[in-house]
């Protein structure tokens, strides 16, 4: 039987292992090993790192800002629109009173001054008719109306009645002047009638006698321009004229 080196090594290893199994471990070694095992703390299992959340900050009640009450803009009432100019009309009643401008009542004269839109020559004459002085009045001059001759007006200087002349009626605002006075007279009559009717109604309701207030129809304010022309008869212009002239009695009303 041939035994080589390889076989010998295998047999040696086998004997070695078998002999090791049969050798008993010393008790001291066993005790030390058990004590070491007890002293070693168990390793905790690996786990995900714990994340600690910071506590949410406590919100303190902040003092509320005092809101100032908004000032309510004062709503101003809209101002009424200014009245529109209201020139006097040449009504049928007026044309009938002046017979279509062919016969003007004498109660009109002396009328209030008129304005000429053309130059007017004024002369001073003697009783015999001789001219002893002249005066040329430019456009826009106020002239005093003394009477009529057909379609012309007899006019005079405001400060010297001896300076007289003639001018075409259509070259002045004489017609507008008469229409202005006629219209105001008509309105005053209507207002007087309404006032009397109101007083009668109050008297009937209260059974108290009250003195009737009569209006003087001859009180016609002078034609003055308050932005709507000299002869505007709107309410605004009428009130301003009355406030300026007061109760001045003109006496130059035009009766129909």
The third-level CATH classification (topology) of the domain covering 92-172 is SH3 type barrels. (2.30.30)
For the chain, domain boundaries? 92-172, 176-245
**Percent of the chain at pLDDT exceeding 70:** 61
Split at pLDDT 50, 70, 90, the class of 119 is very high
pLDDT (average), residues 179-192 = 86
Structure pTM?
A: 0.54
Kindly write down the DSSP assignment for every residue of 205-248, as one continuous string.
HH----PPPPP-TT-------SSS-TT--SHHHHHHHHHHHTT-
Type and span of the H or E element at 177: helix 174-206
Using left for φ > 0, alpha for ψ between -120 and 50, and beta otherwise, residue 100 falls in left
Q: Choose between 79 and 23: higher pLDDT.
A: 79
Question: How many whole angstroms separate alpha carbon 252 and alpha carbon 190?
Answer: 19
- The pLDDT tens digits for 125-176 are 998 889 999 999 999 999 999 999 988 999 999 999 899 999 999 999 999 9
């Amino acid at each position: 039987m041939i035994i080589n080196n390889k076989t010998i090594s295998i047999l040696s290893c086998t004997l070695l292992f078998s002999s090791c199994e049969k050798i008993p471990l010393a008790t001291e070694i066993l005790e030390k090993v058990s004590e070491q095992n007890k002293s070693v703390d168990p390793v905790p299992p690996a786990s995900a790192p714990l994340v600690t959340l910071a506590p949410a900050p406590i919100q303190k009640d902040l003092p509320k800002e005092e809101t100032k009450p908004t000032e309510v803009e004062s709503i101003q009432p809209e101002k009424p629109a200014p009245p529109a100019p209201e020139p006097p009309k040449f009504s049928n009643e007026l044309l009938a009173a002046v017979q279509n401008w062919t016969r003007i009542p004498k109660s009109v004269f002396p009328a209030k001054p008129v304005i000429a839109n053309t130059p007017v020559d004024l002369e001073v004459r003697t009783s015999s008719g001789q001219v002893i002085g002249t005066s040329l009045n430019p456009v826009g001059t106020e002239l005093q109306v003394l009477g009529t001759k057909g379609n012309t007006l007899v006019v005079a200087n405001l400060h010297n009645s001896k300076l007289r002349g003639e001018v075409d009626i259509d070259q002045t605002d004489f017609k507008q002047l008469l229409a202005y006075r006629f219209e105001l007279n008509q309105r005053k009559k209507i207002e007087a009638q309404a006032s009397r009717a109101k007083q009668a109604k109050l008297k009937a309701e209260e059974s108290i006698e009250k003195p009737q207030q009569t209006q003087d129809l001859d009180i016609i304010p002078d034609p003055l321009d308050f932005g709507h022309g000299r002869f505007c008869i709107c309410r605004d212009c009428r009130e301003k004229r009355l406030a300026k002239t007061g109760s001045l009695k003109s006496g130059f009303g035009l009766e129909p």
